[in-house]
């Protein structure tokens, strides 16, 4: 079915349901970042497969909103004759809807399982201000079945225990803290709907979602010391099932969640829903019986972000494994280019995956590898396909952003390398200004209570001096053998007053993208710890162990402290990796380290 025919079918369904339009977010019932195949409704309608977007289809026009990471990608994937392409910002959404001049009382539908309780009132007000009514689909599943008749079935995989030696905290301890939190907040129940929270709280892992060891399910945790867990219970390992049951956790079938919620909730009962991720459909079900939906924060988010000492030790181990694989790949790539052997973006991605797969602890990539050479590197979240696969050519910059999932931890690293011998003056200046931002953030020392928003300018300052910038965040949180993108912490120009705290892992990834020429990004993971020299202050410690391409460094742009940091980092990488590398790779690493 073509995109045009899909749109026609959708509009026929809207007319049949007395709807003027439909809002389609990049989301599903569990707010997954990497959507399972059966949840890719936005892709099915538009063709866009990035990890963030919003579509609004009206009777006579349609629009796709994407942020700066995906502007070029959307231009390649989406038919501009069918969809307007606009920036993904609230002001842009407001402006487009105003331009659309919606008819009086136009009904705009949405799937209440794919819009969060926090998003709903904002959309409701937006459409109300434009003479329209934001209304949930009464029968969402039959609607999607008519639009997508060959929709894949949901994927459920075996659910296993995540050992306490990796988690650093038992299920009993975590539940005790959560029960106390509910009592202190005068709440009866917390509803959990995201896989990261279920996996963290119950120390379980599965593989229901691409690139993440997540389980699909819901949980109701009650202040009386009991909990209900709704998963594919037939796939729960027997020993795990027995242990959970012993902790007063009742296992239910996934499909029993809705009827259980309807029967469980009572008049006056207070149920906590996460404002950012809980489906609006859950609020409707809770309030149907007179219970009170209390919008707040998933009580697992903050403790999940504060890694235990076991999780930090695991992260260090995972980054050692990952650094070995990436260094071996970079050595191999350098040899291929020097010998004039053919390498493409796809073959390079496969070679890097093969290096990671050599280690028995490796489970899967933590996201789809971004491997862009030359102008493809300027597409921030570029995904190589057989149609776009570009040969790596001497003189180009090659950007590779990748990561791995290990029992011990989750990794995410970007390195940009020059293909050839002598970079241009412009390439070196742009790379070095990105590097200066990376070093400034890595060296930052800051008082407790500081947010990532307050630190973001450190990574951009050198670029700003030349009127340059990048259209993405500087840092995101990372899970412990969970999602590669984790909140609530971030480092971004967007104002977000979440303080950075000891134990949090964040990425450090400034970049610069020259459209049509190349992209540069340097990304390493680091964790936050208390400063040993200055009480009341915090600082970062680097986790990632992988060399930077020193050929791209313009030394005259670095000050003494930056040069010393760079030398010390490379020495640390060499000391950590060399004992585990083969002779050729160890010699290569020593050679590239001494080139600065």
* Dihedral-angle region of residue 496 (phi above 0 means left; psi in -120 to 50 means alpha; beta otherwise): beta
Is 427 in contact with 556 (CB distance < 8 Å)?
A: no
Q: Provide the residue count of the chain.
A: 596
Look at 15-24, 142-151, 303-312 and tell me which has the smallest mean pLDDT. 142-151
Largest CA distance in the chain: 74
Name the average pLDDT for the chain.
94
- Report residue 140's pLDDT band, with 50, 70 and 90 as the boundaries: confident
Tell me: pLDDT of 1 over 60: no
Give strand pairing partners of 218.
230
- Give residue-wise pLDDT tens across range 29-71: 999 999 999 999 999 999 888 878 999 999 999 999 998 777 7
Mean pLDDT of 182-191: 96
| Per-residue pLDDT tens over the stretch 201-227 | 999 999 999 999 999 999 999 999 999
Confidence tier at 385 by pLDDT (50, 70, 90): confident
* Under 8 Å between Cβ of 155 and 215: no
Say if residue 97's pLDDT is above 60.
yes
Residue 595's pLDDT is what?
64
Q: How confident is the model at residue 593 (pLDDT cuts 50, 70, 90)?
A: confident
pLDDT digits (tens, 9 = 90+) for 408-437: 999 999 999 999 989 999 999 999 999 999
Lowest mean pLDDT among 79-83, 132-136, 537-541, 571-575: 79-83
Using the predicted structure, report yes or no on whether residue 6 has a pLDDT greater than 90: no
What's the sign of the alpha-carbon dihedral 116, 122, 125, 128? negative
pLDDT at 335: 96
pLDDT at 522: 98
**What is the value of pTM for the model shown?**
0.93
pLDDT at 507: 98
Given this model, what pLDDT does residue 495 score? 86
Angle (deg, nearest 10), helices 309-338 and 560-577: 90
Residues of the chain with CATH 3.40.350.10: 3-147, 160-300
Of the listed ranges 185-194, 294-303, 375-384, 449-458, the least confidently predicted one is 375-384
Domain 160-300 has CATH 1.10.1040.10: no
pLDDT tens digit string along 243-287?
Answer: 999 999 999 999 999 999 998 888 889 999 999 999 999 999 999
The band of 4, judged by pLDDT with boundaries at 50, 70 and 90, is confident
- The two tokens of residue 162 are 């995540």
Q: What is the pLDDT of residue 596?
A: 67
Q: CATH code for 3-147? A: 3.40.350.10
Structural domain 309-593, CATH architecture: Alpha-Beta Complex (3.90)
Higher pLDDT, 326 or 151: 326
51 contact partners, CB below 8 Å, separation of at least 6: 26, 33, 34, 381
The pLDDT > 90 percentage for the chain reads: 84
24-28, 194-198, 288-292, 524-528: least confident range? 288-292
Q: Comparing 7 with 236, which gets the higher pLDDT? A: 236
Q: Which tokens sit at 313?
A: 């030790």
């Amino acid at each position: 079915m073509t995109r045009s025919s899909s749109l026609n079918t959708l509009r026929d369904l809207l007319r049949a349901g007395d709807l003027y339009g439909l809002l389609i977010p990049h989301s599903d019932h569990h707010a997954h970042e990497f959507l399972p195949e059966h949840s890719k409704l936005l892709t099915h309608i538009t063709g866009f497969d990035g990890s963030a977007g919003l579509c609004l289809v009206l009777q006579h026009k349609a629009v796709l909103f994407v942020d700066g990471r995906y502007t070029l990608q959307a231009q390649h994937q989406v038919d501009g004759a069918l969809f307007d392409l606009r920036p993904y910002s609230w002001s842009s959404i407001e402006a487009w809807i105003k331009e659309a001049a919606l008819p009086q009382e136009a009904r705009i539908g949405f799937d209440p399982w794919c819009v969060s309780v926090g998003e709903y009132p904002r959309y409701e007000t937006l459409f109300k201000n434009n003479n329209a009514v934001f209304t949930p689909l009464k029968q969402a599943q039959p609607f999607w079945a008519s639009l997508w008749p060959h929709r894949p079935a949901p994927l459920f995989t075996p659910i296993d225990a995540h050992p306490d030696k990796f988690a650093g905290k038992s299920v009993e301890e975590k539940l005790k803290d959560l029960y106390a939190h509910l009592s202190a907040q005068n709440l009866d129940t917390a509803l959990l709907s995201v896989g990261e929270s279920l996996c963290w709280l119950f120390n379980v892992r599965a593989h229901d979602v691409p690139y993440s060891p997540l389980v699909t399910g819901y949980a109701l945790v009650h202040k009386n010391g009991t909990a209900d867990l709704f998963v594919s219970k037939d796939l729960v390992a027997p020993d795990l099932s027995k242990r959970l049951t012993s902790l007063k956790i009742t296992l239910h079938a996934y499909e029993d969640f809705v009827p259980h919620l309807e029967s469980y909730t009572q008049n006056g009962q207070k149920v906590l829903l996460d404002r950012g991720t809980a489906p609006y459909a859950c609020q409707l079900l809770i309030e149907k019986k007179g219970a009170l939906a209390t919008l707040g924060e998933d009580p697992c988010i903050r403790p999940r972000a504060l890694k235990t000492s076991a999780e930090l030790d695991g992260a260090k181990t995972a980054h050692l494994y990952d650094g070995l694989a990436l260094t071996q790949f970079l050595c191999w790539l350098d040899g291929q280019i020097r010998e004039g052997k053919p390498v493409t973006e796809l073959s390079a991605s496969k070679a890097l995956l093969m290096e990671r797969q050599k280690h028995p602890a490796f489970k899967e990539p933590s996201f789809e590898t971004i491997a862009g050479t030359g102008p493809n590197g300027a597409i921030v979240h570029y995904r190589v396909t057989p149609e776009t696969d570009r040969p790596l050519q001497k003189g180009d910059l090659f950007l590779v952003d990748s990561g791995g999932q290990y029992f011990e931890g989750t990794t995410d690293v970007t390195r940009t390398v020059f293909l050839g011998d002598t970079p241009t003056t412009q390439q070196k200046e742009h790379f070095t200004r990105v590097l200066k931002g990376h070093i400034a953030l890595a060296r930052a020392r800051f008082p407790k209570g500081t947010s990532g928003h307050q630190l973001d300018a450190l990574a951009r300052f050198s670029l700003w001096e030349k009127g340059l910038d990048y259209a993405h965040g500087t840092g995101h949180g990372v899970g412990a053998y969970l999602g590669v993108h984790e909140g609530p912490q971030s480092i971004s120009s967007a104002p977000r007053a979440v303080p950075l705290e000891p134990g949090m892992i964040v990425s450090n990834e400034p970049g610069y993208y020259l459209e049509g020429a190349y992209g540069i990004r340097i990304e390493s993971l680091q964790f936050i710890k208390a400063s040993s020299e200055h009480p009341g202050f915090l600082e970062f410690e680097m986790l990632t162990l992988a060399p930077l391409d020193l050929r791209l460094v313009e030394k005259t742009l670095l000050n003494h402290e930056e040069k010393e940091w760079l030398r010390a980092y490379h020495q640390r990488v060499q000391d950590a990796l060399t004992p585990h590398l083969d002779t050729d790779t160890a010699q290569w690493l020593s050679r590239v380290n001494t080139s600065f």
